[in-house]
């Protein structure tokens, strides 16, 4: 179906990548990961919290994965989430 389009664009090969699998820290790793508690408020966004705590908004997924809440829609105002403060340790535990 796409042969003509690919030929017109000079594409000879398509490489598909798989999404990496992220894991959740073990109990032992959780003990070593320093965190701060944060009370979720109406209008909060992961990217804003990441920008405030890490200086990089694109690390929003660290907070989401660590709390096992993939989107802001999984959190209600008043819920307490944990924000890992040591990126080196938490990134090692999540990968």
Q: What is the pTM of this model?
A: 0.75
The number of C-alpha atoms within 13 Å of 12 and in the hemisphere containing its C-beta is: 0
Angle made by CA atoms 69, 71, 75, in degrees to the nearest 5: 60
Instruction: Look at residue 51 and tell me if it is in a domain.
Output: yes
Q: What is the arithmetic mean of pLDDT over 69-93?
A: 94
Taking only the tens place, the pLDDT of each residue in 11-20 is 988 888 887 7
The CATH number that applies at residue 72 is 3.10.350.10
DSSP annotation of 36 reads E
Does 48 fall in a domain? Answer: yes
pLDDT of residue 35: 96
pLDDT at 21 over 80: no
Identify whether 85 is part of a domain. Answer: yes
> For 2-14, what is the mean pLDDT?
89
Q: Does 71 map to a domain?
A: yes
In a domain, 42, yes or no: yes
Query: Looking at the domain assignment, is residue 13 inside a domain?
Result: no
- Using the predicted structure, report yes or no on whether residue 55 has a pLDDT greater than 90: yes
Asked, for residue 37, whether it belongs to a domain, the answer is yes
Q: How many domains does the chain have?
A: 1
Q: What is the mean pLDDT of the chain?
A: 92
Question: What's the rounded Cα separation, in Å, for the pair 22 and 39?
Answer: 25
Q: Residue 85 pLDDT more than 80?
A: yes
Range of the domain at 72: 23-94
In a domain, residue 3? The reply is: no
| pLDDT given for residue 26 in this prediction | 87
């Amino acid at each position: 179906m796409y042969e003509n389009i690919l030929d017109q664009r000079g594409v000879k090969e398509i490489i598909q990548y798989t999404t990496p699998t992220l894991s959740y820290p073990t109990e032992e790793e959780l003990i070593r990961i320093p965190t701060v508690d944060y009370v979720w408020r109406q209008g909060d966004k992961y990217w804003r919290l990441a920008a405030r705590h890490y200086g990089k908004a694109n690390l929003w997924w660290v907070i989401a994965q660590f709390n096992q809440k993939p989107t802001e829609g999984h959190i209600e105002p008043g819920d307490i989430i944990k924000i890992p403060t040591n990126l080196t340790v938490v990134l090692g535990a999540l990968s």
